[in-house]
Structure 1
Amino acid sequence: MRSAPQPGFWLVARREWRWLLHDPIALVLIFVVPLFAFVGLSVAFTNPVIRALGVVVIDADRSEISRAFVEQVAASPNLSIVERSGDLASAARAIRAGDAIAAVYIPVNFERDLKAERRPQVVAFYNQQFLTAAGVAAAGLSDSLSAATRSAAGRAAPKAARIGSLVPETIALVNPERNYAQFLLRTLLPMVMHVVIALAGGYSVGSEFRRRSMRDWLQCAGGNPIIALTGKLAPLFAIFFFIMLSVPLILEGIFGISFKGDVPMIIAAASLMIIGYLALGVLLQLLLRDLPTALGFTGLIVSPAFGFVGVGFPIIAMNTFSVAWGTIMPLRWYMEVLLGQAARGLPVQESARPFALLAGLAVAYGLSALLRLRSIARGISKEAPEPAPPAAAPRTVGEVFLAEWRRMLGMRGAFAALVMAPLIYGIYYPQPYLGQILRKIPIAVVDNDLSDLSQRIVQTLEASGAVGVAVRANSLAEAHAAVDRGEAFAVVGIPPDTERDVLKGMAAHIPIYADATYLFVFRTTANGIAVAINTLSSELAAGGARIGGSLVKAKLASSSPTDTLLQPIFNPVGGYASYIVPAAFVLILQQTLLIGAAALTGLAVAQAASGAFMSVLGRGIAHVTLYVPLLALYLIVLPRVYGFSALGNPLQLFVLASVFVLATSFMGQAFGAWFKRPETPTLIFVGTSLPQFFLTGFAWPREAIPAPAQAIGMIFPSGFAIDGLVRINQLGASLWEVAHDMRGLWCLAVIYFALAVTSAALVKGRHVHA
């Protein structure tokens, strides 16, 4: 006779492995959600360089030279002329509607003024509300218009220059191709995984409270909490370790994103991150002891990590709360190790501090979970399942409406998802971004000229609001080491004989070695340094003459025959919070409603006495009425509290937002009818939030997203809602200018309503025949 298996680690691990294999929701969370994220993001970033951004041209001169300027814009690989407009008003409408990201205005008499050396002004307007696309468009416009200006200057007779110029040249230290995909794929995939890991750990332990048996679990471990916890989490650790290990191999093999650092350190860091988030998910379950509620709080803590860990917005610009909160997140230190090793190839000792902090957090969360489990094990008893609310039998739309309101307010998990989470997110999510713009980014300077001019260059950089000289190095190697240590984000090298070359009337090239690991910091730093150097160069060209005087104008006309003005519109200061938070607010509203509506649907279908049509419609109306105050909070109140642009007509906002809420409600009901447990929506939908955001065409421009990835993004109402609501509220667009978004939301509402009705009828029929 075969003896019973002995209690211990392997018995607990086998028990957990069998459960994982037979729980379809666990398999979806562990395998399908990461696969969706990986495939969606990989396809979205197939085009690593953003190209063909729409530009409207207003050529009021229609001369040979103005046409040459237009041809230079058309030749830019980043830009595509989508319209040749007759006035600025129609160009503004095209920008508000999303047909273009920028407009170029060439004034009347441009050719005449150019030949008369009056430096006519060419103005390029670009929509900075869409910050990523705006940065690419601005660079493309600057390069193309500068090329056109040089061409125009070449046609004129050469004139002897009295004094030379300073020419800044940016060189990327890391990611020299400035490949957005290299940065985003390397950082976003671990961010999705840390959410999945925390939810999976919590789901594994939380399922013991109601559906499984905590007593059996502990008995399999012989009553030892250490064996119980390590045995339960071992299968999950093995699965996630394999996934984390395969990601860099896929990135290098398919996308050519090379790994430069120490492999054992990265493997150890990934292991510690997995342990830390498994332990965090377990700890929250053991503290709250309610599976849906604890999963909701887990998602609340881990899902906004993109901002708090310094990837979405640099830590140097965050407020104290955001820095402190990010410090207790293992992902913060894992990302520092990952980027330091994989992207920069730093020596191991340079990553020792974040590695040690990551290890400390993993140990702290693991010990906390273990101590809490030991406390629970002392008084463990078989808990009876929580009684379900008394079944009502609503028959009319009004009764369904009231019944849904009672469920939304009376069930703890639903109330947390639909009411508490939006209120908390409204305060919690924007915190890392409220610094808005980067100021005084630390840079290093290597002065190899040691002249009066080189001192003026350093003083000009010091006076800049964008950058500040934090390190004065004696060599480029010393300065680069300061960048590796995080003491500076760029190096300005002043070559020998810079002053001599300028005095001879030559162009002195000033190299800017900037760290392109974080592209937002890279662009801001490089632009800040270039603006400061160009300002000094203009002062040198003026030669001390009175600003605005005829001598200055003549000198400027000889070196630059046109005055090119790049003018940002909508979010003109380039505030990061003004850019990211309004769009994220829409996604938050969708995800909370999607989770809440889906979680309540199973109970609603079981209790419904009315037809499926009435049930779905009544519940959708209930969700709209619940979200009206939340829409007012997110679209009207909070933008003004945080100082974001709020140009939209409130009535038009609510019209579009109401259709968005209906579409989201019906989608939640369509999926929720098939979910047997209220925690399932949290497990499935929370991990898809970040990929959804990058598939909407907001953070990553639609022009760079292949059609299949765009189609995936259109499954969710947030794709149309983010575009439409941001354009109305932040750009002042009318409802007619975002009619394509309105049509898209109505189509989704109708499709998901039909699916919800069909699903409810089928599931109800199964209950009747069961």
Structure 2
Amino acid sequence: MKRPAKPGFWLVARRECRWLFHDRTALILIFGVPLFAFLVLSAVFSQPVIRGLGTVVVDADRSETSRAFIEEVATAPGLKIVERPGDLAEAARAVRAGDAIAAIYIPANFERDLKAQRRPQVVAFHNQQFLTAAGIASQGLGDSLAAAVTKAAPIRATAPAASRSGSLVPETIALVNPQRNYAQFLLRALLPMVIHVVITIAAGYSVGSEFRRRSMRSWLACAGGNPIVALAGKMAPLFAIFVVIMLSVVLILEGWFQIPFKGNVAMMIAAGMLLIVGYMALGALLQLLVRDLATGLGLAGLIVSPAFGYAGVGFPTLGMNAFAEGWSTILPLRWYMAVLLGQAARGLPPHQSAHAFAMLAALAVGLSLLALFRLGAIIRKPSREKEVAPARSITEAPRGLGQAFATEWRRVLATRGAFALLVLAPLIYGAYYPQPYLTQILRKVPIVVVDNDLSELSRALVQTLDASGAVRVAANVATLAEAHDVIQRGEAFAAVGIPTGTERDVLKGNKAHIPVYADATYLFIFRSTASAIAVAINTLSSDIALAGARRDGSLARTTLASVSPANVLLQPIFNPVGGYANYIVPAAFVLILQQTLLIGAAMMTVGTTLHGSAFTNVLGRGVAHLTLYLPVLALYLIVLPRFYGFSALGDPLQLAVLASLFVLATSFMGQMAGAWFKNPETPTLIFLATSLPQFFLTGFSWPREAIPDAVLAAGRIFPADPAIDGLVRINQLGARLWEVGHDWRDLAILTVVYLLLAVISAYFLRRDHVKA
């Protein structure tokens, strides 16, 4: 007779392994979701250099010079002239509809004024609602327009020699990621973010399932009643799997994408392990606190889903409000990202990542101890209630359309998980998600100055930089090596070098190059800082150019014309101040609506036995979800944008038409998926961690021009793809419904397709119940 296994760590671990590899949902979550995220994000960022951003040109001059000017602009690698409308109204329509990201206006009499040195003004409008694409487009526009102006009217030194002055020319040098490769930065940061969501949910599912389909008593008996053995043995298989996944990601990034790793390997491996321990402990803790699988998973999702914002990768922590900064401090992901970017991207000495590593370790240990204390309390005071099988949301669905509508309302209000997802979660996310971004723009980013000229001009430059609203001079150091050390310590994000002889060169009428060494680890800080420094330097340079010609207006114009034959104005439109919240939150709101409704509709479909027409049941439930979401749509599309100060230009009726199609398509998609799930928590496990990859599939935060067509086509299976584009264009850009015709057509098609698929799924579900 075989002796029973001795209780202990290995018995618990073997029990957990048997469950993991026999639970299909667990396998999909642990292996399928990370694989999906990796494939999607890798495909999205497969073209790291963004080219062919759509641009329209309004040529009001129609001269040989203007045509040559346009041909020169068309050679810019990042831009593609897609249309030449007759006036600015047509150009604005093209930008609102998404046909172009920018519009160039060449004024009438451009050729005549250029030859007469009257400095005609060429205006380049770029849609800054799409902040990433707009940043790339504005840089390309600035470079190409400057080159086109120079070629159209070569600079002639016609100003008197006495008034001729030199200029200051900023030259930005990226200290990290010199190619300014967005894909390199984002891939390295996004994949761990997806994995940390999977880790939390998987650990929560493992522990929470003991309160539902498995046996808490059996788990604790295998551990001999020891909470340390019980929790360690249960988490050990997951820990081993996720360590392998994390290491695989690093190897693939370095091998396949050739993204170099510069730092300390041992520190990075240890940090990855601490991240896994911390979020496994968090997932377990939440389940042990609420002792309900669905509720615990919901709480886990609330904490980990918005982590992209709170971790300081999208919008830096130095720009956050007090709440966001405080909350991010207790998230292990923030400190892991600090170690990751410091070691992998910047190659810092280990001691300079020690603070972030210590915080990560403290949080991992603290969460683990809390989970152990809670499990110990449960062991000491076991519940007297009997463990029950998971409750079905309903056993029988009504027969008619009206009954299906009314019954779905009652079920949502009576089912705790559904009510939390469909009613409470949108309210909480509406207040919680935008917090990291609400300061909108970065102010007073610290920089360091190396003044080797020590002249009156260099002092004026330092004062101009410090007076800027965007940057502040945090330190003056003697050498660039010292400046680099200050940047590595995180005390500054850029160094401005003022070479010896700068003032002398300017007085001689020469160009004085001012190197700007900017840290490109965080690309949003890099863009903001480099742009602010360039504006300050160019402002002082313009003052120098006019210094000798202020008393004579004609001489001033001649002096400016000799420096720049035309006045090139880069004018942002839609979100003109470049607010990060105005950019990211309206689109994220739409994705939040999709994910909560998709999970909720699928969850409410699990276990439903249909009688009568499948079509009327599916349609009635979809209409019920639409009416349930009408207040939420009003909150997200009308109330909150105005409350937070975002642009809200859309017509409410047109918003309602597009949003209604979006909600119906999402409800039908959720009902279709839910018909094939066996347990009500499965939709949360499968769909929650896919949110971030879906967001980048939409072409909003990463330009569509840089995403392969096949990937874009695959992304259109989610209703959020056309909904984000259409609703943002209507609400933030003031587009009309006909201008986003492709979006509402796509949503209408998805609505019909998912309705049919949901009906077919319900039919097969009913047939299986009849056979059973």
Q: Could you say which TM-score interval applies, normalised by the shorter chain? A: over 0.9
User: 1:93 & 1:393 partners in 2: Cα distance?
Assistant: 48
Deviation at 1:550, TM superposition (A): 2.5
Deviation at 1:547, TM superposition (A): 8.5
Structure 2 equivalent of residue 77 of structure 1? 77
User: 1:286 & 1:547 partners in 2: Cα distance?
Assistant: 78
Within-5 A mapping of 1:105-124: 105-124=105-124
Query: CA offsets, 1:85-144, max 9 Å, x none?
Result: 110000000000000000000011101011111100000001000000000000000000
Structure 1 equivalent of residue 16 of structure 2? 16
Query: CA offsets, 1:682-711, max 9 Å, x none?
Result: 111110000000010000010000112212
User: 1:547 & 1:741 partners in 2: Cα distance?
Assistant: 57
> Structure 2 vs 1, CA of residues 550 and 751 (structure 1 numbering), >3 Å: closer, same or farther?
same
Structure 2 equivalent of residue 518 of structure 1? 522
User: 1:389 & 1:90 partners in 2: Cα distance?
Assistant: 53
User: 2:204 & 2:674 partners in 1: Cα distance?
Assistant: 21
Within-5 A mapping of 1:18-37: 18-37=18-37
- 2:145 maps to amino acid: L
Within-5 A mapping of 1:85-104: 85-104=85-104
Deviation at 1:192, TM superposition (A): 0.3
User: 2:725 & 2:552 partners in 1: Cα distance?
Assistant: 43
User: 1:746 & 1:222 partners in 2: Cα distance?
Assistant: 58
The answer to whether the 8 Å contact 2:125/2:570 transfers is: yes
The answer to whether the 8 Å contact 1:466/1:528 transfers is: yes
- 1:172 maps to amino acid: A
Segments of 4+ moved more than 4 angstroms:
155-161, 386-393
> Structure 2 vs 1, CA of residues 534 and 157 (structure 1 numbering), >3 Å: closer, same or farther?
closer
* Gaps in structure 1 of 5+ consecutive residues: none
Structure 2 equivalent of residue 427 of structure 1? 431
The answer to whether the 8 Å contact 2:611/2:766 transfers is: no
Secondary structure of the residue aligned to 1:22 is: coil
* Gaps in structure 2 of 5+ consecutive residues: none
Note if 1:461 corresponds to 2:465: yes
Identity of aligned residues (%): 71
Structure 1 equivalent of residue 627 of structure 2? 625
Counterpart among 579, 585, 593 of residue 581 in structure 1: 585
- 2:85 maps to amino acid: S
User: 1:393 & 1:166 partners in 2: Cα distance?
Assistant: 75
The answer to whether the 8 Å contact 1:178/1:516 transfers is: yes
Structure 1 equivalent of residue 281 of structure 2? 279
User: 1:548 & 1:564 partners in 2: Cα distance?
Assistant: 23
User: 2:92 & 2:738 partners in 1: Cα distance?
Assistant: 14
- 1:107 maps to amino acid: P
User: 2:157 & 2:594 partners in 1: Cα distance?
Assistant: 62
Deviation at 1:387, TM superposition (A): 5.4
The answer to whether the 8 Å contact 1:673/1:759 transfers is: yes
User: 1:387 & 1:72 partners in 2: Cα distance?
Assistant: 68
The answer to whether the 8 Å contact 2:493/2:519 transfers is: yes
User: 1:268 & 1:673 partners in 2: Cα distance?
Assistant: 42
Structure 1 equivalent of residue 543 of structure 2? 539
User: 2:133 & 2:68 partners in 1: Cα distance?
Assistant: 25
Counterpart among 326, 338, 341 of residue 339 in structure 1: 341
Counterpart among 232, 253, 256 of residue 255 in structure 2: 253
Structure 2 equivalent of residue 493 of structure 1? 497
Within-5 A mapping of 1:153-168: 153-154=153-154, 156=156, 162-168=164-170
Secondary structure of the residue aligned to 1:255 is: coil
The answer to whether the 8 Å contact 1:79/1:140 transfers is: yes
Within-5 A mapping of 1:331-480: 331-381=333-383, 382-385=386-389, 388=392, 391-480=395-484
User: 1:622 & 1:475 partners in 2: Cα distance?
Assistant: 68
Deviation at 1:156, TM superposition (A): 4.3
Counterpart among 475, 483, 486 of residue 482 in structure 1: 486
Structure 1 equivalent of residue 303 of structure 2? 301
- 1:586 maps to amino acid: V
- 2:532 maps to amino acid: G
The answer to whether the 8 Å contact 2:174/2:519 transfers is: yes
The answer to whether the 8 Å contact 2:392/2:680 transfers is: no
Secondary structure of the residue aligned to 1:512 is: strand
Deviation at 1:380, TM superposition (A): 2.5
Query: CA offsets, 1:347-396, max 9 Å, x none?
Result: 00000000000000000000000000011112325423465567455110
User: 2:123 & 2:361 partners in 1: Cα distance?
Assistant: 53
Secondary structure of the residue aligned to 1:212 is: coil
User: 2:142 & 2:169 partners in 1: Cα distance?
Assistant: 14
The answer to whether the 8 Å contact 2:397/2:617 transfers is: no
Query: CA offsets, 1:461-492, max 9 Å, x none?
Result: 01111111012111101111111111111010
Structure 1 equivalent of residue 41 of structure 2? 41
Within-5 A mapping of 1:557-596: 557-596=561-600
Deviation at 1:152, TM superposition (A): 3.1
Deviation at 1:712, TM superposition (A): 2.3
The answer to whether the 8 Å contact 2:213/2:390 transfers is: no
The answer to whether the 8 Å contact 2:549/2:559 transfers is: no
Secondary structure of the residue aligned to 1:675 is: coil
The answer to whether the 8 Å contact 1:153/1:560 transfers is: no
Structure 2 equivalent of residue 67 of structure 1? 67
User: 2:371 & 2:258 partners in 1: Cα distance?
Assistant: 40
- 1:729 maps to amino acid: N
User: 2:713 & 2:431 partners in 1: Cα distance?
Assistant: 32
Within-5 A mapping of 1:694-713: 694-713=696-715
The answer to whether the 8 Å contact 1:40/1:712 transfers is: no
Query: CA offsets, 1:150-187, max 9 Å, x none?
Result: 22342646665721100000000000000000000000
Counterpart among 173, 176, 200 of residue 174 in structure 1: 176
- 1:554 maps to amino acid: T
- 1:635 maps to amino acid: L
User: 2:269 & 2:687 partners in 1: Cα distance?
Assistant: 28
> Structure 2 vs 1, CA of residues 2 and 288 (structure 1 numbering), >3 Å: closer, same or farther?
same
User: 2:391 & 2:151 partners in 1: Cα distance?
Assistant: 79
User: 1:388 & 1:436 partners in 2: Cα distance?
Assistant: 45
Secondary structure of the residue aligned to 2:99 is: coil
Deviation at 1:72, TM superposition (A): 1.9
- 1:481 maps to amino acid: D
Secondary structure of the residue aligned to 1:492 is: strand
Deviation at 1:546, TM superposition (A): 3.5
> Structure 2 vs 1, CA of residues 390 and 72 (structure 1 numbering), >3 Å: closer, same or farther?
closer
Secondary structure of the residue aligned to 1:450 is: coil
User: 1:547 & 1:737 partners in 2: Cα distance?
Assistant: 51
The answer to whether the 8 Å contact 2:393/2:604 transfers is: no
- 1:514 maps to amino acid: A
User: 1:252 & 1:84 partners in 2: Cα distance?
Assistant: 43
Query: CA offsets, 1:526-558, max 9 Å, x none?
Result: 000000000000000001543893222111011
Within-5 A mapping of 1:679-718: 679-718=681-720
Secondary structure of the residue aligned to 1:647 is: coil
The answer to whether the 8 Å contact 2:172/2:516 transfers is: yes
The answer to whether the 8 Å contact 1:309/1:326 transfers is: yes
- 1:572 maps to amino acid: P
Counterpart among 719, 728, 734 of residue 730 in structure 2: 728
Report the TM-score, using the length of structure 2 for normalisation.
0.98
Note if 1:676 corresponds to 2:678: yes
The answer to whether the 8 Å contact 1:102/1:126 transfers is: yes
> Structure 2 vs 1, CA of residues 452 and 740 (structure 1 numbering), >3 Å: closer, same or farther?
same
| Count of matched residue positions in the alignment of Structure 1 and Structure 2 | 768
Secondary structure of the residue aligned to 1:174 is: coil
- 1:640 maps to amino acid: R
The answer to whether the 8 Å contact 2:605/2:674 transfers is: yes
User: 1:519 & 1:158 partners in 2: Cα distance?
Assistant: 41
User: 2:417 & 2:548 partners in 1: Cα distance?
Assistant: 70
User: 1:547 & 1:44 partners in 2: Cα distance?
Assistant: 56
Query: CA offsets, 1:403-424, max 9 Å, x none?
Result: 1111111111111111110000
Report the TM-score, using the length of structure 1 for normalisation.
0.98
> Structure 2 vs 1, CA of residues 386 and 690 (structure 1 numbering), >3 Å: closer, same or farther?
closer
User: 1:694 & 1:471 partners in 2: Cα distance?
Assistant: 38
